[in-house]
Structure 1
Amino acid sequence: MSIVWDRHVSNGIRELGYDIQNKQLVVVLPGGVRRYYAPVPYDVYSALFHATFPERLYQETIEGKIPRIEVAGYQ
């Protein structure tokens, strides 16, 4: 897995990671909680990173709508 990371996206989303090959999104929340999602199209990741209110976009387009996946070694 080769992930591109974006640091300090907003107060509610500390980091975003995206694996282009596997179309996996990693959302790091405050406290270091990591959530993995797939499949996530690149344009959804890009919109989330560039959004004025990324937490709102995350809630509206990703959380509960795109499957959360398990990644070995992480919750």
Structure 2
Amino acid sequence: MSIVWDRFLSNGIRELGYDIANKQLIVVLPGGVRKYYAPVLYEAYSAIRHATFPERLYRQTIEGKVPRIEVAGYQ
């Protein structure tokens, strides 16, 4: 598994990760809650990562629109 991580993205998104091999987006919220989404294109991850308001873009393009997946050991 090769994951690209960005830490301290914003107050609402503590970390943003992308698993290149599995096309999974990992969003770590305050309190350590992890949400996994797939399939997500690298371009979507990159757009959130570079956005002025990453939380807004995440809510508009990912949350509730891309399937959330379960990963063993995480919520």
Q: TM-score, normalization: structure 2?
A: 0.97
User: What are the superposed Cα offsets for residues 16-46 of structure 1, whole Å, 9 maximum, x if unpaired?
Assistant: 0101111000000000000000000000000
Structure 1 unaligned blocks of 5 or more: none
Structure 2 CA distance, aligned partners of 1:34 and 1:21?
A: 19
Structure 2 CA distance, aligned partners of 1:33 and 1:73?
A: 12
Structure 2 CA distance, aligned partners of 1:45 and 1:17?
A: 8
User: What are the superposed Cα offsets for residues 38-57 of structure 1, whole Å, 9 maximum, x if unpaired?
Assistant: 00000000000000000100
Instruction: Say yes or no: does 1:40 pair with 2:40.
Output: yes
Structure 2 unaligned blocks of 5 or more: none
Q: Percent same amino acid at aligned positions?
A: 83
Backbone CA RMSD of aligned residues? 0.6
Residue number in structure 2 paired with 1:49: 49
